[in-house]
Amino acid sequence: MIKARPAFLLLCAALIPMLVLAALMGWFVISERQTALADGIQDRASMLAAAVQRDLETQIQLLSLVAESPRLDLPVSRSSFAETARRLKARAPQWQQIRVTNDEGDVVLSFPPLATSASRKVVDQESHERVVSSGVGLIGNVLLGSGGKAAFAVRVPIQRNDRTKAVLSAVIRPEMIAEILRNGGLPHDWTAWVTDSRNRLVAATVMSDLEARPVSEFANAVEGDRFQLFDGSSLQTAGALLEGTPWRVHVGLPSAVYERPAQQAILLLIAAGALIAFLCAVATVLLYRELRARTAERESVANWQRMDALGKLTGQAAHDFNNLLMVFQSGVEGIERRRDDEERVSRLLNHMKEGLSRGKNITRRLLSFAKRSNQGAEHIELLIKLEDMAPLLKQALNDSILIDMNLPDDLWPIYADPVGLEIALINLLTNSREAMTGGGRVTVTARNVPEGSFEDRRVQGPVVAITVTDTGSGISPADLERIFEPFFSTKQGRGPGLGLTQVYGFALGSGGIVKAASLPGHGSAFTLLLPKSKAPSLTEGNVPYSQFPQSVLIVDDTPASLESARIALDGLVANIITARSGAEALDFLQSRRGIEAVISDIMMPGMSGIELAEEIFRRRPELPVVLMTGYSDKLEAGVVISRPVVAKPFATKELAAAFAVSRSGVPDLTNVVLLDQSTRS
């Protein structure tokens, strides 16, 4: 069974998509059948409408020929009209009555003659007036006559010398239309009916005695194209309008016949879904057992792979650090041999400084393997960041585009991913460049916003607004609503359409938002709203060395690191005290007076630097404490530290800035300050 388990898994994996595909295909085929039924109803309606229209046009043409006959030249004698009408009725038996009316709607002549008590006024006055005014033959509305029977009139003008002298009408019973519908080739269970312009029933294939009544008494709309007949039957219908007339033909088939394919499709999907669910359950059980069976085997392979990866990483790190050690060793030996050669010493020191920078980059890459906190977001001194990025932003444009950067001196720092910020700004400038093919100007501005909800309700709290404005072609209002959609682009194939999507993702992931505004033909503006950093603002060069404390306690369990920190402060601090543990540091604080500040490593045995800072705060809350570290698992795990932190190796100006922060008061416990942002992993 253990050996057969993979085969069963493969079988289930093959059957499940096949069943899904078969079910979808079956559902599609059945749905097409229902669509074909709907199309068939529409075709039948159009066919019957054409048949009724042809017959009515024939009636109009025949009556028009009579109207042009000299026998109807005014004045018309009754005997001549009666003879002509008798012959017409013999030729067109569906004509129940033939009349001549004047332009006022009074019946002048009629065959058969009207009863003495009958009204001499035209019943359908509306159609009569339209014939008189238009001079064109037409079909009137269906009405109930004086005898209570439904009929409609075919009317044509009697014109002489291009003037309508009278109106010739033929009154026809709806049975003629019903006969056309019955002879239209409809299946026996289908129903058809005709309505006029006033939405009254003209005729139908079923006997109802509802002609000339509101069609709602014959068929009432239930939902969409579904109607319910007066006898309670339900129909799915379609309609077609008779060209040149206000009449409409409706055709319907029983709803049960129309819905049968949909019911079959639902049953098919239910059956297929049940079978797929069963196979998925079987596959899940088999997969769970297979995974359990292979866990031990994978563990051994994974352990070997971890050791191999660690060996490669260690070897590469050892190689890089050996190169750096070679730089420092050659520099030290060169200085020792020729200390009096100032030019050579300066060259060697510069070489060693470059090695120090490379070492920082190496440790940054190494720490990235252990990084777990906040996905790259960090405290960014925005004013310094944007000024440093100025050359990079200019490279994103071309020589025909000018760039202006208007940044206030009191610009707040932000909390975001610096790499993501660079990519977002480059994408915005690239977008502006492509909108200004003939050159133009781009302006980058920034401002502090005390409450982000005033700018956009989706953002809360203090934010910094970074706006990129261009003088390009602009964006149409329709495209402006979609510019942040993935793969949407207005560049006609130039680019995948992901640049602004990345900007939107960066802003959203940073806890902010991006907004766009544009005036076609005048340019566009994109505004990034990014949250203000809760850490205190630390600007390089704003703290002179003279602000160093005059008595400092340095705590580090590593002698070399302790001595390096002491040497870094030598000449800047008058009194330097060193301790190799947290307990020893507390003893010094208790026994010695005049200590103005404490610098402590974070990772120490017994009492860590974080614990030492907390204990000092309990004893002497006014005493400034600065923490230093090369790596801290607590920091990478997102632990909140209430003291400024400098990353090893640090420059004296970074340490001076940290002292300034610590002297300004204990930072809020929600803040973590890392002075050297370039070395933070």
Domain boundaries, the chain: 1-282, 378-531, 545-679
pLDDT confidence band for 521 (50 / 70 / 90): confident
Question: Token match 């566009």: residue?
Answer: 524
- 550-574: average pLDDT: 87
pLDDT confidence band for 361 (50 / 70 / 90): low
Residue 127 has pLDDT above 60, yes or no: yes
- 558-577: average pLDDT: 86
Residue 119 has pLDDT above 70, yes or no: yes
Confidence at residue 464, expressed as pLDDT on a 0 to 100 scale: 94
What pLDDT digit, counting tens, does each position of 190-244 carry?
999 999 888 899 899 888 788 888 988 888 888 878 888 888 889 989 989 988 7
Q: What gap in Å lies between CA 156 and CA 170, rounded to an integer?
A: 9
Say if CB 31 and CB 287 are below 8 A apart: no
Phi, psi for residue 98 in degrees, rounded to 5 = -120, 130
Question: Token match 């960066």: residue?
Answer: 506
Q: What gap in Å lies between CA 120 and CA 106, rounded to an integer?
A: 6
Closest CA to 153 of 63, 65, 250: 63
Question: Token match 């120490």: residue?
Answer: 604
Q: What gap in Å lies between CA 132 and CA 128, rounded to an integer?
A: 6
Q: What gap in Å lies between CA 234 and CA 257, rounded to an integer?
A: 10
The two tokens of residue 478 are 């329709």
Confidence at residue 555, expressed as pLDDT on a 0 to 100 scale: 94
Q: Across all residues in the chain, what is the average pLDDT?
A: 80
Residue 86 has pLDDT above 90, yes or no: no
Confidence at residue 121, expressed as pLDDT on a 0 to 100 scale: 85
Residue of 661 and 185 predicted with greater confidence: 185
Lowest-pLDDT range of 23-27, 51-55, 144-148, 314-318: 314-318
Lowest-pLDDT range of 322-331, 485-494, 564-573: 485-494
Residue 5 has pLDDT above 60, yes or no: yes
Residues 545-679: name the CATH superfamily: Response regulator (3.40.50.2300)
Residues 378-531: name the CATH superfamily: Histidine kinase-like ATPase, C-terminal domain (3.30.565.10)
Residue 298 has pLDDT above 70, yes or no: no
Q: What gap in Å lies between CA 319 and CA 375, rounded to an integer?
A: 29
Residue 273 has pLDDT above 60, yes or no: yes
- 242-258: average pLDDT: 86
Other residues' Cβ atoms within 10 Å of the Cβ of residue 453: 12
Confidence at residue 368, expressed as pLDDT on a 0 to 100 scale: 41
How far is Cα of residue 195 from the mean position of the Cα atoms in its chain? 46
Q: What gap in Å lies between CA 572 and CA 594, rounded to an integer?
A: 17
Cβ within 8 Å of residue 230, ≥6 positions away: 208, 210, 217, 218, 219
Confidence at residue 564, expressed as pLDDT on a 0 to 100 scale: 82
The two tokens of residue 314 are 């260690």
* Residue 413, preceding peptide bond in cis (omega within 30° of 0): no
The per-residue b/e assignment along 616-647, b for 16 or more CB within 10 angstroms, e otherwise, is: beeeeeebbbbbbbeebebbbeeeebbbbbbb
Residue of 312 and 234 predicted with greater confidence: 234
Residue of 634 and 20 predicted with greater confidence: 20
Confidence at residue 365, expressed as pLDDT on a 0 to 100 scale: 46
Confidence at residue 448, expressed as pLDDT on a 0 to 100 scale: 93
Question: Token match 């990014």: residue?
Answer: 530
Using alpha carbons only, what angle is made at residue 670 by residues 665 and 675, rounded to the nearest 5 degrees?
65
Say if CB 546 and CB 569 are below 8 A apart: no
CATH annotation of 1-282: 3.30.450.20
- 503-529: average pLDDT: 89
The two tokens of residue 452 are 């982000």
* DSSP helix, strand, coil percent of the chain (3-state; round to 5): 45, 20, 30
Cβ within 8 Å of residue 304, ≥6 positions away: none
- For the chain, percent of residues with pLDDT exceeding 70: 85
What pLDDT digit, counting tens, does each position of 336-353 carry?
777 777 777 787 787 777
The per-residue b/e assignment along 7-22, b for 16 or more CB within 10 angstroms, e otherwise, is: eebeebeebbeebeee
The two tokens of residue 665 are 């008061």
Q: Do domains 1-282 and 545-679 have the same CATH topology?
A: no
